[in-house]
């Protein structure tokens, strides 16, 4: 068994434990394997081990990898900060976009998706820690962005994403996950199709169990899966 396969087995066991504590089925949590800077050979090894969803932070890096791995049946999710001028390539390369954080970007993604005849699933990124170094709409403006994105025909709004502060104390990060879930609950109260707003993309290598306990449906794991980056 490869090191990636062993890591994947440990992560799946952790997912199962967290789901058990939360009274959930492990089937309700999707693992996004974060492949930023991971070479194509190790990405291929990860997919062979059972990873079905790949998350990339950079459009150009993802485009190269997608071409090199075109024979694999995987979903590609964009999880990094997205510039509006990269929207066209993002729509071409990705099955999901987790990081819609402003109306200008949403409208450009919508325009490009409609040109391609697509309706692309997206998440709104919320900056739950109000950190200047991170992207995301402030929590108090999330509903405003939700109302702007909902009518766009090229986008299918499916939920929310956050990248909370990195804290060693997992109980200190828990309120950020809880806040994201509460914002999604408020959006669902306004939505004409609340059942479509079901996704919470939150939790990474060090805190995904806590995120699952608070309702995460997608966790983004890189280091715990592929090892530390250079």
Q: Mutual orientation of helices 103-115 and 142-149 as an angle, nearest 10°?
A: 20
Rounded mean pLDDT, 60-72: 96
Alpha-carbon separation of residue 10 from 6, 201, 206, 207, 225 (angstroms): 6, 20, 13, 14, 9
The CATH class for the domain spanning 3-226 reads alpha beta
Alpha-carbon separation of residue 182 from 97, 120, 136 (angstroms): 21, 24, 16
Give the per-residue pLDDT at 230: 67
Give the per-residue pLDDT at 1: 74
Query: What confidence category does residue 229 fall into, taking pLDDT thresholds of 50, 70 and 90?
Result: confident
Residue 228 in this model has a pLDDT that exceeds 90: no
Give the per-residue pLDDT at 60: 95
Render pLDDT for 123-144 as a digit per residue (tens, 0 to 9).
999 999 999 889 999 999 999 9
Residue 90 in this model has a pLDDT that exceeds 90: yes
Rounded mean pLDDT, 145-161: 98
């Amino acid at each position: 068994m490869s090191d990636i396969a062993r890591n994947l087995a440990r992560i799946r066991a952790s997912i199962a434990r967290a789901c058990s504590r939360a009274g959930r089925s492990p089937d309700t949590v999707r693992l996004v394997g974060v492949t930023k800077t991971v070479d194509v050979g190790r990405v291929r090894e990860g997919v062979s081990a059972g990873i079905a969803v790949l998350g990339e932070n950079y459009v150009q890096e993802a485009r190269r990898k997608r071409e090199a791995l075109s024979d694999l049946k995987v979903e590609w999710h964009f999880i990094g900060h997205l510039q509006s001028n990269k929207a066209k390539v993002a729509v071409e390369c990705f099955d999901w976009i987790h990081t819609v954080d402003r109306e200008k970007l949403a409208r450009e993604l919508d325009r490009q998706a409609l040109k391609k005849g697509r309706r692309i699933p997206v998440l709104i990124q919320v900056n739950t820690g109000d950190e200047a170094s991170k992207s995301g709409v402030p929590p108090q403006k999330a509903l405003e962005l939700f109302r702007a994105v909902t009518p766009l025909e090229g986008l299918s709004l499916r939920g929310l994403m956050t990248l909370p502060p990195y804290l060693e104390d997992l109980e200190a990060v828990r309120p950020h996950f809880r806040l994201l879930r509460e914002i999604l609950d408020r959006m669902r109260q306004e939505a004409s199709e609340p059942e479509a707003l079901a996704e919470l993309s939150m939790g990474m290598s060090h805190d995904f169990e806590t995120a699952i306990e608070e309702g995460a449906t997608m966790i983004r794991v890189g280091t715990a899966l592929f090892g530390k980056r250079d």
